[in-house]
Amino acid sequence: MTNPLKYNKHPFIEVNFLNGEPKTGWISIKESITSAIGNLKKSKKIVLFDTYQGVHDDEILQGLVQPLNLKTIYTRDYFLNEKELEVLLQPYVTDDEIFGYMNRLTMINLFDTKKLNSIRKEIESQKEGIVLIYGPGASLLSSASDLLVYFDMPRWEIQLRFRNNTVGNLGFQNNNHKTSLQYKQAFFVDWRICDRHKKTIMPVWDFVVDTTTAGSPVMVNGNDLNAAYQHTAERPFRFVPFFDPGPWGGKWMMEKLGLPKDVPNYAWAFDCVAEENSIVYKFGNTFFETPGINLVFAQPEKLLGPAVHARFGEEFPIRFDFLDTIEGGNLSLQVHPTTGYIQEKFGMHYTQDESYYMLDATEGATVYLGLKDDINPTEMIADLHKAQKTASDFDVDKYVQQWPAKKHDHFLIPAGTIHCSGKNSMVLEISATPYIFTFKLWDWNRMGLDGKPRSINIEHGKNVINWSVTPAYTQKHLINDITTIASGDGWKEEKTGLHEKEFIETRRHWFTKKVTHYTEGSVNVLNLVEGDEVIVESPENEFTPFKVNYAETFVIPASVNVFTITPYGNSEGRKCATIKARVRTGITHQPITG
């Protein structure tokens, strides 16, 4: 391995604050809130501390609520009890170990109606004094609000807290439950409910508190944060990547990206999954972390584009991540559900079509993709069940076609296609975002990092496998289906996919000099797959030049319309390449130009 790359593991966006300097630490935050309450010229004051699932309540209560020494009402005292919540949520949580069903509940559904009406009347009848309401759904207890403070939490940090048994699910004291079950309930229930509630709060919040780093809270003015979201939706930016080990993980990211070596490997890097990743803002000298999905909620049309917003709502439909198997092992043999299946079984309206772009590969790299000719589906499913029940080997090479892989190859994987990356590969996975819906068919008889078997989903998988994806089809339609679209002095544009059944289109651009790109009505997600560094600029100077290093994923909001990319620094005069993904919108494609 060579020395670590320049890859920026901690990107941030510099923004201005106009409505008050950010506050750090509980003492400073308490003083600021006390001052804000004192400035309210009313005899009766309603203060709301609304919270997302996953915050450390004990820290907030000890650091802020108790020192304020105010009459405090706790929303969880008015929730349904846990048994009642279990009954309410069972259709969405289900008895499945991994999967649930997307709910359409709102925060108010979690409250006991009689208790809620009673406390509302009590609050309304109070004529003077300060009432502090704390917890998820605080704004539902009072129709009036004089000060609204929101305590937010990014989902990746929540997952770490599940692993550490420090938080429970929404409305439950289940910190010690199995992590995977907590995550499932959060994914299908908690986060959907909290997001629906948060969207009603974002336009009117007075302050927002970041408690991602325990013991180091940061509070910013709500108007300043909303202005930061607008600022971000008008220029290139990066989400903050995170890295996680896995049973098949490799060493490429550890060495190339200079990651800590206190774990055995790194299997995944999520660097553009809006629901999971954060955005970090720098207000003056203060860093503030916020969930990436908030940007989608705050600025959907500017970020996504009107056509994409109309189709997907307030969701970010494109996902880029890394899968590292160099000096590691094969991924699990898997398949993703078809659109009809994911809609019927899980309540999702689109599925995880994807592709593998080979960012790097070493000798012997392979991809398992599609089936072999003349296989017997019944026999294959029986062999998969046998391997699962008896921990015996599954003869993958009898049924699944293995293909050699090299750097810059592109393998397309429409839903229903059996697949997995083999060892010796550094994959840039480009896909739609419903990432939880992977049906593992076989996992090479290995255990997870926790020493326990990983979940296998043959019953789901057998219902969606496309048995017609055999070698002739795979080679013609799914491997390096690359067409040159246009070229000029110092540049070439290629169409690399995705498959006609997938809503994402990808273009690869080779260039040695400045080239002009068009967003074409859709958010664009790009990765620098060749070259040390490039600079992204606006022809009309509408945003500050934005530097990108090799392997970094970056986002161009639809509102940008036109941007240029130029080799920079060590890459000047050398060949560079980006892979760019966008949603097909029907807008006539404009080739890049030199």
HEC assignment per residue over 543-554: CCCEEEECCCEE
pLDDT at residue 586 tops 90: no
Q: Is residue 527 in a domain?
A: yes
pLDDT at residue 161 tops 90: yes
Whether residues 219 and 253 share a domain: the answer is no
What share of the chain in percent tops pLDDT 70? 98
Q: Is residue 92 in a domain?
A: yes
Tell which wins on pLDDT, 1 or 138: 138
Q: Is residue 292 in a domain?
A: no
Residue 548 dihedral angles phi and psi, to the nearest 5°: -130, 135
- Find the mean pLDDT for residues 335-359: 94
Query: Model pTM?
Result: 0.95
For 273, the token pair is: 């999954």
Residue 459 CB coordination number (10 Å): 11
Instruction: Look at residues 412, 441, 472 and tell me which one is the last residue of a structural domain.
Output: 472
* DSSP E strands, 405-557: 410-413, 419-421, 425-432, 439-442, 483-488, 491-497, 504-511, 515-518, 524-530, 533-537, 546-549, 553-556
- Angle (CA) 539-540-541 rounded to 5° is 95
- Which pairs from 61-68 meet CB under 8 Å and 24+ separation? 61/134, 63/26, 63/29, 63/30, 63/217, 64/26, 64/29, 64/30, 64/33, 64/217, 65/132, 65/134, 67/26, 67/30, 68/30, 68/33, 68/34, 68/132
Residue 567 dihedral angles phi and psi, to the nearest 5°: -55, 140
Alpha carbon 518 to chain centroid, angstroms: 25
**Residues 449, 328 contacting (CB under 8 angstroms):** no
Whether residues 465 and 501 share a domain: the answer is no
Whether residues 465 and 535 share a domain: the answer is no
Q: Is residue 282 in a domain?
A: no
The amino acid present at 186, given as its one-letter code, is: A
- Find the mean pLDDT for residues 129-157: 96
Would you state the pLDDT for residue 589? 60
Residue 371 dihedral angles phi and psi, to the nearest 5°: -105, 165
Band (pLDDT 50/70/90 cuts) for residue 1 is very low
**Which structural domain range is residue 569 located in?**
483-583
**What is the biggest distance separating any 2 CA atoms in the chain, rounded to whole angstroms?**
81
Lowest mean pLDDT among 276-290, 309-323, 448-462: 448-462
Domain count, the chain: 3
Residue 526 dihedral angles phi and psi, to the nearest 5°: -130, 160
Q: Is residue 311 in a domain?
A: no
**Residues 135, 75 contacting (CB under 8 angstroms):** yes
Q: What does the mean pLDDT of the chain come to?
A: 95
Whether residues 422 and 321 share a domain: the answer is yes
Radius of gyration of the chain (CA): 25
**Residues 533, 239 contacting (CB under 8 angstroms):** no
Whether residues 513 and 451 share a domain: the answer is no
Whether residues 119 and 221 share a domain: the answer is yes
Whether residues 159 and 214 share a domain: the answer is yes
CA–CA separation, 57 vs 117, rounded Å?
Answer: 25
Instruction: Look at residues 232, 252, 284 and tell me which one is the last residue of a structural domain.
Output: 232
Residue 583 CB coordination number (10 Å): 23
Q: Which residue has the tokens 């995170």?
A: 242
The amino acid present at 402, given as its one-letter code, is: Q
Give 263's DSSP letter: S
pLDDT at residue 445 tops 60: yes
Q: What is the CATH number of the domain that holds 160?
A: 3.40.50
Would you state the pLDDT for residue 588? 59
Whether residues 487 and 467 share a domain: the answer is no
Whether residues 155 and 266 share a domain: the answer is no
Whether residues 573 and 468 share a domain: the answer is no
pLDDT tens, 458-476?
999 999 999 999 999 999 9
Cβ-Cβ contacts under 8 Å for 238 (sequence gap 6 or more):
8, 11, 271, 552, 553, 554, 555
Q: Is residue 172 in a domain?
A: yes
Using CA atoms, how far residue 19 sits from 26, 288, 299, in Å, is 19, 15, 20
Q: What is the CATH number of the domain that holds 493?
A: 2.60.120.10
Whether residues 34 and 157 share a domain: the answer is yes
Q: Is residue 295 in a domain?
A: no
pLDDT tens, 2-47?
567 899 999 999 998 889 899 999 999 999 999 999 999 999 999 9
Whether residues 418 and 550 share a domain: the answer is no
Q: Is residue 253 in a domain?
A: yes
The amino acid present at 588, given as its one-letter code, is: T
pLDDT at residue 511 tops 70: yes
pLDDT tens, 222-264?
999 999 999 999 999 999 999 999 999 999 999 999 999 999 9
- Find the mean pLDDT for residues 484-490: 94
